[in-house]
Amino acid sequence: MLQSDDVIENEEDIQVERDSETGEDDDIAENDFDLGITDEEPFQGHNIQETVEEHEISDDPAVFRIVEDLSYEVCELQAHNEFLLRDVADLKTENESLKRQLDSCSQYMGAIQNAYYACSTQHAASLLVSLSTAKTTKFGAELILDNDEKTQFYTGLTSYSLFETLFKLLKPFMEKRISKKRPPLWSIKDEFFITLSKLRLGLLYKDITCRSNISESNVSKIFHKWLDIMYRELQQLIVWPDREKLYETLPIQFKKHYFNVISIIDCFEIFIEKLLSLESRSCTYSQYKKHNTLKVLISIAPTGSITFISNVWGGRVSDKVITQKSGFLDKISYGDVVMAD
């Protein structure tokens, strides 16, 4: 086997001999072989071994082995180059797809930002309107105007029309008590609303003062004035029912199973502040509520209408004593059935 140095020397001798035979100039660079490849055409993986045989570079087996190795490496490089070209093409395609997705996301984010800005602006405007309305709407009958839900919450009446009906019923009696020299601070309807709100919600005078900008003393006067009128004029609406009319209006379930029930009674308690008098404090202390209370016996018909209300008793008095001494037993007859809690 020839050594590599001998192969190189043989190649140089071959080149010198060929230069002398063809008359080429000595200025041609070494190893500058004409393999039939031009700059105008890209290299397409020529078979180096065929090119060597075509030009009869050498008949030495060692040279052919080297050429074969080089040809194998060139083929591998060409295959790797083609793989890289395909990889670059895939990356370009993926890059274009990502650009389209980015543009779509940018448009979507822009739409979201515009919608958020529009909603924020609308919400801010709504808040400003609500704030302006809250500042201009006072705590009075205007607050429940044509609103059955608010009417029931603030007054306990089921509808605004019922509030108007009750007000028209009591208005003439209140007008008689109005002094022409000192006109009321508020309208009569607003005073009526404040009275019902205090009864319904248990509002303190100080709370009503903060809501209405009226002093506590004036709120107290308004409340007691309307309370007196309501007591005198509305107590005539509490009537003990006639048995025949009561039976005609009995609910179906009562007619089937409790046709002789005439009343449903209960004693309810109202919390009060501790009184200064120890004796009064003792009479109003309720063992059941663990608080100072006032107790009242109330009776309703099976239809739900109020048929009897007793006087006010101290919370210490038992329900049995109130029932016996309130006058309720004088209302019932033989055969009447009374339900109690």
248 and 323 assigned to the same domain: yes
| CA 299/CA 283 separation, integer angstroms | 24
- When divided into structural domains, the chain yields a total of 3
* CA distance linking residue 317 with residue 239, whole number of Å: 26
Identify whether 12 is part of a domain: no
220 and 309 part of one domain: no
**pLDDT of the residue at 198:** 93
Question: In the 8-state DSSP scheme, what is residue 37?
Answer: -
Q: Is residue 295 part of a domain?
A: yes
**Within a domain: residue 330?**
yes
Residue at 210: amino acid letter: C
Q: From the CA atom positions of the chain, what is the Rg in Å?
A: 54
Show pLDDT as tens, one digit a residue, over the chain (341 residues): 444 444 444 455 545 455 544 444 444 334 444 444 444 444 444 555 555 555 555 566 777 778 777 888 888 888 888 888 888 888 888 888 888 888 888 888 888 888 887 777 777 777 776 655 544 457 888 999 989 999 999 999 999 999 999 999 999 998 888 776 666 677 899 999 999 999 999 899 999 999 888 889 999 999 999 999 999 998 888 989 888 888 888 888 888 888 889 999 999 999 998 889 999 999 999 999 999 999 999 999 998 889 999 999 999 999 999 999 999 999 998 888 999 97
Residue 37: predicted pLDDT: 44
Looking at the domain assignment, is residue 162 inside a domain? yes
* 3 state SS of 104: helix
* Residues 329 and 258 both lie in one domain: yes
C-alpha–C-alpha distance, residues 298 and 306, integer Å: 7
Query: Is there a single domain that holds both residue 290 and residue 323?
Result: yes
Q: Same domain, yes or no, for 54 and 123?
A: yes
**Domain-located, residue 20:** no
Does the residue 185 lie in any domain?
yes
Q: Which residues contact 56 (CB under 8 A, 6 or more apart)?
A: none
Last residue of a domain, one of 77, 103, 136: 136
Claim to verify: residue 62 and residue 119 sit in the same structural domain: yes
60-86 b/e (C-beta count within 10 Å ≥ 16 → b): eeebeebbeeebeeeeeeeeeeeeeee
Residue 318 structure tokens: 């038992």
- Look at residues 236, 253, 281 and tell me which one is the last residue of a structural domain: 236
Q: What is the pLDDT of residue 22?
A: 47
Q: What is the pLDDT of residue 324?
A: 94
Within-domain flag for 190:
yes
In this structure, the number of other CB atoms found within 10 A of the CB of residue 107 comes to 10
Distance CA 115, CA 191 (A): 47
Which of 106, 136, 166 is the endpoint of a domain? 136
**Could you list the residue range(s) of the whole structural domain that residue 182 is in?**
143-236
List the structure tokens of 41.
């055409």
Same structural domain, 224 and 264: no
Query: What pLDDT, on the 0 to 100 scale, is given for residue 118?
Result: 79
Residue 184 in tokens: 């009321």
Q: Are residues 328 and 274 in the same domain?
A: yes
Neighbour tally for 278: CB within 10 Å? 9
Cβ–Cβ under 8 Å, residues 315 and 293: yes
Residues 207 and 262 both lie in one domain: no
301 shares a domain with 285: yes
This prediction's pTM: 0.52
Answer yes or no: is 203 within a domain: yes
Strands of the chain, DSSP E: 261-271, 285-286, 291-300, 306-309, 313-314, 337-340
Q: Are residues 121 and 106 in the same domain?
A: yes
